[in-house]
Amino acid sequence: MDLFESTRMAAKTLTANKLRSTLTMLGIIIGNASVIAMIGIGQGAQRLASEQFESLGPNVLFVSPGSPQTQRRSFDLPRTLVLDDAKAIAEQVPSVREVAPQRQSQLPVIYRNLNSNSLVVGTTPSFLSVRSFDMERGRFISDQDVASNSQVVALGSDVATRFFGNRDPIGEEIRIRGITFRVIGVMQSKGAFLGNNQDDAVYVPITTMANRLTGQTSPYGLDLTFISITAKDEASIPAAEFQVTNLLRLRHKITTEDDFTVQTQKDVLQIVGTVTGGLTIMLAAIAAISLVVGGIGIMNIMLVSVTERTQEIGLRKAIGASQQDILIQFMIEAVILAAAGGLLGTAIGVGGVVLVGALTPLQAGVSPAAIAVATGVSGGIGLFFGVVPARQAAKLDPIVALRSA
């Protein structure tokens, strides 16, 4: 019997049991769709995070409290990074253009009978240029506001809309943790940054933040969440990193492990890429288990099919079909089930990725490599798990098979 005839008979057998064939393919369909969707969404998350960091500009450095080892081990970070450190960096590091210290916390923000638990950021005027923010209306915090502990606030666009709708909020008063602040400006919409909505935030002078809202919690001065720094140009980044590190080591009198971390945009992008890449691989591996389960399902159904079709196999052998003919037909049936499930799963996975890309900020994209691998693996699984039932069918003795019928 030629290959075409074997394929035709295999297809006829499968279509005669449509419900069984569909349920058998289900594991392969789910596995393929999951692998393609997880890889596409994971790569989209990686691209989104990379673009968000790149939007800050290539000259940005970040200083955060705690060494890399401490940051990985504990949430209780040292409170040794203070406002005076930021001032020293701005004044004493020649390769640095601007410095923006930040201290932030989630606090209740209230306007009349409306309230919101928003991110309150204490910072300085240089925040706008260092972090590439712009004002939609009004003004930002000034040096005078910082020096005089002024109770003034610039609102993120979402907070302004939530409290004031289309009205101009300039001059209005809101309360943060029960303390009254006068609105002086509204920020332009910035969108999310690594999952945090930057528009659902309010900005106050850093001195006001420490003295009126959160209190000073460090014996070394006004402790910071982190410091954002812009180097003079991209070529100055290595020098800026070296100089900032040495200055802080000198100021903190460090002789062993650093109590701070200096990261460039490249460092952060590498970390983000490693984390998102690892998550993508993990999710794809979990999804791939469905493919194996689908393969086991194919083998199980094919073994049942061999038992049910004992008379058919015996009759075909009695009229001249060889062991190879029987083996090939059952192998083809298994491969058809796996390949059809793989194609349907691929279509569903691609559709899911496109839908996620259209409805969310994630720049999810279809990975041709993921499609090729998932489809190839599903066909291979059909071939692999089809061997046992096909060999069992091929070895049936025609006399025993006809007698058992």
pLDDT tens per residue across span 356-376: 877 776 766 777 777 777 777
Give the C-alpha separation, 347 to 343, whole Å.
Answer: 6
Q: Helix 18-54 to helix 3-16 angle, to the nearest 10 degrees?
A: 100
254 lies in some domain? no
- What are the CA-CA distances from residue 242 to residues 65, 88, 237 (Å)? 17, 15, 9
In this structure, are 315 and 199 located in the same domain? no
In this structure, are 297 and 372 located in the same domain? yes
Q: What is the pLDDT of residue 204?
A: 96
379 lies in some domain? yes
In this structure, are 32 and 106 located in the same domain? no
Q: What is the pLDDT of residue 192?
A: 67
* Residue 363: HSE in the Cβ half-sphere, 13 Å Cα cutoff: 7
87 lies in some domain? no
Q: Can you read off the two tokens belonging to residue 291?
A: 């493919």
82 lies in some domain? no
Q: What is the pLDDT of residue 195?
A: 59
84 lies in some domain? no
61 lies in some domain? no
Give the C-alpha separation, 186 to 404, whole Å.
Answer: 85
Q: Residues 6 or more apart from 300 whose CB is under 8 A from it?
A: none
In this structure, are 226 and 323 located in the same domain? no
Q: What is the pLDDT of residue 56?
A: 61
376 lies in some domain? yes
Q: Residues 6 or more apart from 327 whose CB is under 8 A from it?
A: 390, 391, 393, 394
pLDDT beneath 70, residues of the chain: 1-3, 6, 50-58, 72-75, 192-196, 268-269, 272, 361, 363-364, 393-394, 396-405
Q: What is the pLDDT of residue 264?
A: 80
In this structure, are 226 and 109 located in the same domain? yes
- Which residue among 173, 204, 231 closes a domain? 231
Give the C-alpha separation, 286 to 379, whole Å.
Answer: 19
Q: Helix 265-308 to helix 18-54 angle, to the nearest 10 degrees?
A: 180
Q: What is the pLDDT of residue 399?
A: 67
Query: CB neighbours (10 Å) of residue 108?
Result: 13
- Which residue among 231, 253, 282 closes a domain? 231
The secondary structure of residue 188, as a DSSP letter, is P
Closest CA to 100 of 138, 59, 71, 155: 59
Q: Which helix (H) or strand (E) holds 333?
A: helix 323-359
Helix then strand count (H, E) for the chain reads: 14, 12
For 107, the domain range is 98-231
- What are the CA-CA distances from residue 92 to residues 97, 158, 259, 265, 353 (Å)? 11, 38, 20, 22, 50
Q: What is the pLDDT of residue 158?
A: 92
- Report the number of distinct structural domains present in the chain: 2
The secondary structure of residue 218, as a DSSP letter, is B
